Amino acid sequence: MPASVEKTSPFPSLVIRAGGYEARGAFAQAQAMFLEPDPEVVRQLRERLDAVQAGVVAHFYMDAELQGVLAALESPRVHIADSLMMAERAVKMAEGGAKVIFVLGVDFMSENVRAALDASGYPDVPVYRVAEREIGCSLAEAAESTAYAAYVEKASRTPHSLHVIYVNTSLRVKGEAQKRLPTITCTSSNVLSVVLEAFATVPDLHVWFGPDTYMGHNLATMLRAYAELPDEAIARLHPAHTRASIASAAQRFHWFEQGACVVHHMFGHEVTERVRRDYADAFVTAHLEVPGEMFALGFEAQRAGRGVVGSTSNILDFILATVKRAGTANGPPATLKFILGTESGMATSVARAVRETLEQIAGDGGPALTVEIVFPVASEAIAQTGESELPIIPGVASGEGCSTAGGCASCVYMKMSSLDGLEDALDRLVANAKSVTPIAQSQLMARYAPKRLTDPRVAALGGETIGAMRELQRTRKLPPALVTALT
């Protein structure tokens, strides 16, 4: 038997029932220990947030302890989501009276929130992270390279070119690109609709996607596959497209070939082979950023109705929809197994939402379902903290335990935001809320504020690319100004 498919221990998993959770393997145990946080910790955090009318938007990939407490708050001023909805919900919070927004994620997410608030008429609502140092991202750094600058320059010299830039990039990169050619931001949840709408709106358009190499390759694969579908199936993807138009678009879709997320890079050949061999009965979920083999497995499952490829929100929606369908089916109780092909932090939101759904099904007299969330990671992919209360945590220290045989699936950048950091930042605000002016407060909180661009024109241009995406989300049409620039 080939070494890549030798019999190995099962991947760690989290088993969810209406009555609670069962963790299998140390990695899953490190996730599960935070699903039911101390009520007193939750109460104290709620008091801190209320004292300064603060809102919190957090990404699905935050560490398990922080997510567990935030989810337990069940507050309209706390929301855990993907990067697109983080900015949208921050605006809603400002509209509802929030005086400050904390962004729990990497720095480009803080920039997105800042740009969305400015564009929505809330420039005076401050935005803070909870780590004192900058929070980077391997994918965002790829867009800072000379190779990416050359890629954008090549696109700018090609007639009828639209640059579709992934949200996981800095505002400066977005702004510098917008100076060179028409640019629109996208997320993993809307990139396909952005690309299809752009090709449908502008004849002979060239789309240049970046910087995520895997996502670009996967999108190209999807376009080629869709070109083989009947026209009626393609019309369900986009009413203006046919087999011929999709096939033509696939020839004019370009992607950057030197950018990748270090976490999703771990879902490679050996992980895919283990999933195929040992989990043939499982539903497969895969983020658009995973490498080709894992993407192919997820896309194959999606086309068979047993999986999904997309964003974190797409993954959560698919799992919940599948569980709800099973809850209405006749027959004996079933066990539904899902491969979680994305960053492990997603498990908190999935587990809580699934348990709530199972409780609703049970309350309605439905079957006693069991749901197993499988982490395709190394069982040893945990970190020893040296603390008596929390001896282990999900993820690894300094890359230990990460391998293509089953990677860590845990982003060290996303884990730079912590519950202690949020509490410390709030304590600083609470202690001085009534004794300092807004200007003094901003100076007091300067170490928590993401750096602003020194060139306001570049910042404004970067904001335009995000604004274009938000307009497309609202209208489902490419913004008229962008269409004019392209034609």
Q: What is the pLDDT of residues 172-228, one digit of tens each?
A: 899 999 999 999 999 888 999 999 999 999 989 999 999 988 889 889 999 999 999
Q: How far is CA 180 from the centre of its chain?
A: 28
Q: What angle do CA 58, 61, 66 make, to 5 degrees?
A: 60
Q: What mean pLDDT is predicted for residues 256-269?
A: 62
Alpha-carbon distance of 428 to 277, in angstroms, equals 52
Q: How confident is the model at residue 157 (pLDDT cuts 50, 70, 90)?
A: very high
Quick one: pLDDT at residue 312? 85
Strands 161-166 and 183-186, bridge-based pairing: parallel
The better pLDDT of the pair 202, 393 is held by 202
pLDDT at 401 over 50: no
Quick one: pLDDT at residue 452? 61
Q: What mean pLDDT is predicted for residues 307-328?
A: 93
pLDDT at 251 over 90: yes
Alpha-carbon distance of 255 to 250, in angstroms, equals 11
Quick one: pLDDT at residue 444? 67
Q: Which residue, 99, 61, 63, 101, is CA-closest to 83?
A: 61
Quick one: pLDDT at residue 286? 87
Q: What mean pLDDT is predicted for residues 404-410?
A: 43
Quick one: pLDDT at residue 448? 76
Quick one: pLDDT at residue 209? 97
Classify burial at 230, counting beta carbons within 10 Å of its beta carbon; exposed 0-12, middle 13-18, buried 19 or more.
exposed
CB 62 within 8 A of CB 102: no
What is the per-residue DSSP string for 9-62? PPPPEEEEETTEEEEESHHHHHHHTTSS--HHHHHHHHHHHHHTTEEEEEETTS
CB 395 within 8 A of CB 416: no
Quick one: pLDDT at residue 268? 59
Quick one: pLDDT at residue 381? 44
Quick one: pLDDT at residue 379? 43
**Range from 1-10, 308-317, 380-389, 410-419 that averages highest in pLDDT:** 308-317
CB 211 within 8 A of CB 259: yes
Q: What is the pLDDT of residues 349-390, one digit of tens each?
A: 999 999 999 999 999 999 999 999 998 864 444 444 444 443
pLDDT at 70 over 70: yes
Alpha-carbon distance of 258 to 221, in angstroms, equals 18
The CATH superfamily holding the domain 3-34+262-412 is: NadA-like (3.40.50.10800)
Q: How confident is the model at residue 408 (pLDDT cuts 50, 70, 90)?
A: very low
Q: What is the pLDDT of residues 105-135, one digit of tens each?
A: 888 888 888 888 988 999 999 999 887 777 7
Q: What is the pLDDT of residues 433-451, one digit of tens each?
A: 665 566 666 766 777 777 6
Query: Residue for token digits 């439905």?
Result: 366
Summary mean pLDDT of the chain:
84
The better pLDDT of the pair 422, 1 is held by 422
- Tokens matching residue 319: 């799992």
Alpha-carbon distance of 275 to 188, in angstroms, equals 23
Alpha-carbon distance of 422 to 129, in angstroms, equals 8
Quick one: pLDDT at residue 46? 96
Q: What is the pLDDT of residues 337-357, one digit of tens each?
A: 999 887 777 888 999 999 999
| pTM summary value | 0.79
Q: Where are the beta strands (DSSP E) in 364-457?
A: 370-374, 382-384, 392-394
- Domain extents for the chain? 3-34+262-412, 39-137+416-448, 139-260+455-486
Classify burial at 276, counting beta carbons within 10 Å of its beta carbon; exposed 0-12, middle 13-18, buried 19 or more.
middle
Q: How confident is the model at residue 311 (pLDDT cuts 50, 70, 90)?
A: confident
Q: How confident is the model at residue 454 (pLDDT cuts 50, 70, 90)?
A: low
The percent of residues in the chain predicted with pLDDT above 70, rounded, is: 84
CB 267 within 8 A of CB 294: yes
User: In Å, what is the CA distance from 28 to each residue of 39, 373, 394?
Assistant: 22, 9, 8
Cβ-based neighbours of 386, under 8 Å, separated by 6 or more: none
Is CATH 3.40.50.10800 correct for 39-137+416-448?
yes
What is the per-residue DSSP string for 68-109? HHHHHH--TTEEEE-HHHHHHHHHHHHHTT-SEEEEES-HHH
Query: Residue for token digits 């997510």?
Result: 67
CATH tag for 139-260+455-486 (out of 3.30.70.100, 1.10.3720.10, 3.30.70.1520, 3.40.50.10800): 3.40.50.10800
Average the pLDDT over each of 58-67, 134-143, 261-270, 324-333 and give the range with the smallest value. 261-270
Same fold, 3-34+262-412 and 39-137+416-448: yes
CB 322 within 8 A of CB 365: no
pLDDT at 7 over 80: no
Alpha-carbon distance of 271 to 293, in angstroms, equals 9
Around 161, how many Cα atoms within 13 Å sit in the side-chain half-sphere?
19
pLDDT at 10 over 90: no
374-387 burial: b if 16+ Cβ within 10 Å, else e: bbbbbbebbbeeee
